[in-house]
Amino acid sequence: MIMKTINFANKNSLKILNQSLNSRRITKKKTKSIVEKILYQIKSGGDQSLIKIEQRFTKKKIRNKDLFFSKNEIRKYIKLLDTRTRRDIDLAFERVFKFHKKQKIYNFSFKDQLDNKLGYRSMPIQTLGIYVPGGKASYPSSVIMNCVPALVAKVENIYMCFPCLGKEVNPAVIYAATKCKVKKIFKIGGAQAIGAMAYGTKIVPKVDKIVGPGNEFVTYAKKEVFGEVGIDNIAGPSEVTIVADTSVNPSWIAADLIAQAEHDENSQCILISPNENFIKQVNREIKLQLFTLPKRNIAEKSLYKNGLAIYSKSLKQIADIINLIAPEHLELVSKNNNKLVSLVKNAGSIFLDKYSPEAMGDYLAGPNHVLPTSGSAKYSSGLSVLDFIKRQSIIKISKRGIERLGSSVINLANFENLQGHANSIKKRLEKRK
């Protein structure tokens, strides 16, 4: 068996599942130490420290101008991109843009019975930094998914960090960045890129918010700079949970699990089924399909290390398992989809029926593929236009309003021992001589 099987009829099944989930949510002490050191160096040393750190990784002498793409370089790489890929990026951009355009940004105001005017207005953040991975793979889809909701929100300045110094550059990433109106593309990566965008240097502008996935060093760096800047989330390795039965071809389900597993050795792929024989069939298909997969080593390690096949015949129990996992991606491919989806409370994105593999959502279905991981779907959502909007309360109290409500504020302020607050109201209620 490729994936470890858990029979939920057994007493220890819940304990085994929790152990498996928790094992992926621990940050290594070594990672913390390295990241904290890098962030301190960037904050105190700026560009000089940034160059030194990048030179350490690339083993090459780096000048200031090497840290970003010139306009000529951008044009050169775009020319290298084939027409078909360019057209498909255009299609993905169009579909994702149309979906996010439907997400309404509301302003409102009203007058209450005392003639007080209350409401709020929505404003976009001004400056955004996005991080696009460039290690094991580089993804133009990450550019689109992180930039498009910001474009819809009307963020003025978008900057991008793309770790490619001393590496082969993926022209599709560069094309996607220009499509998304990225103002400047920096060639830096890792914790140092997050630090540069968070604190600002002479070369890298300080941003208001940082979004985008990365390795454990990038993730921990985002966690550390939160407060200095906003972030999208603390993303863990990618994950999928699939509920499937004999109504679907087991080779399709095997392919969906492998698609997720090839991202990272730490990706988590979980199959839940009410049929034990179906689980065996999927495992056999995984073995066959892995044989020809270019990223076989990554996918195989992921499935052996973190893959789970859960056997449960109870629909309610299956729903409870899903809500405990709170998966980033959830595929429901069974005869009981309609009943099951009504019981699901925690999931980043739900893919219904057999023609909706998670891979469609990764590229061009329309909804965002930046989703909560590591159980955070219990309290958070995928990236949206609202993540790039800040709301400002508008309060205009009338003379009648302060006369009617002021005494209650004074009483509450005194109760909280905040006499200064009380006094600011009293002054306005005092009769002028």
User: What 3-state class would DSSP assign to 380?
Assistant: coil
CA–centroid distance for 332 within its chain: 22
| 8 A C-beta contact, residue 174 and residue 190 | no
In whole angstroms, give the CA distance from residue 162 to residue 143: 10
Let me know if 296 is exposed, middle or buried by CB neighbors in 10 A (0-12, 13-18, 19+).
middle
Cβ density class 130-166: b for 16+ within 10 Å, e for less: bbbbbeeebbbbbbbbbbbbbbbbebebbbbbbbbbe
Active-site position among 329, 331, 358, 369: 329
Q: What element of type H or E holds 247?
A: none
Q: Does residue 54 carry a catalytic annotation?
A: no
Distances in Å between the alpha carbon of 101 and those of 96, 106, 167, 203, 386? 9, 13, 36, 33, 11
CA–centroid distance for 225 within its chain: 16
Cβ neighbours for 328, distance < 8 A, ≥ 6 positions apart: 238, 239, 240, 348, 349, 371, 372, 373, 377
**Inter-axis angle of helices 250-261 and 276-290, to 10 degrees?**
60
How many beta carbons lie within 10 A of that of residue 32, not counting itself? Answer: 15
Q: Token pair of 243, please?
A: 């509920």
Backbone angles phi, psi at 118, to 5 degrees: -130, 150
| 8 A C-beta contact, residue 194 and residue 211 | no
**Inter-axis angle of helices 71-80 and 171-179, to 10 degrees?**
110
Q: Token pair of 238, please?
A: 């990618």
Q: Does residue 239 carry a catalytic annotation?
A: no
Quote the DSSP letter at residue 205: P
Active-site position among 224, 262, 265, 328: 328
Which residues carry out catalysis?
328-329
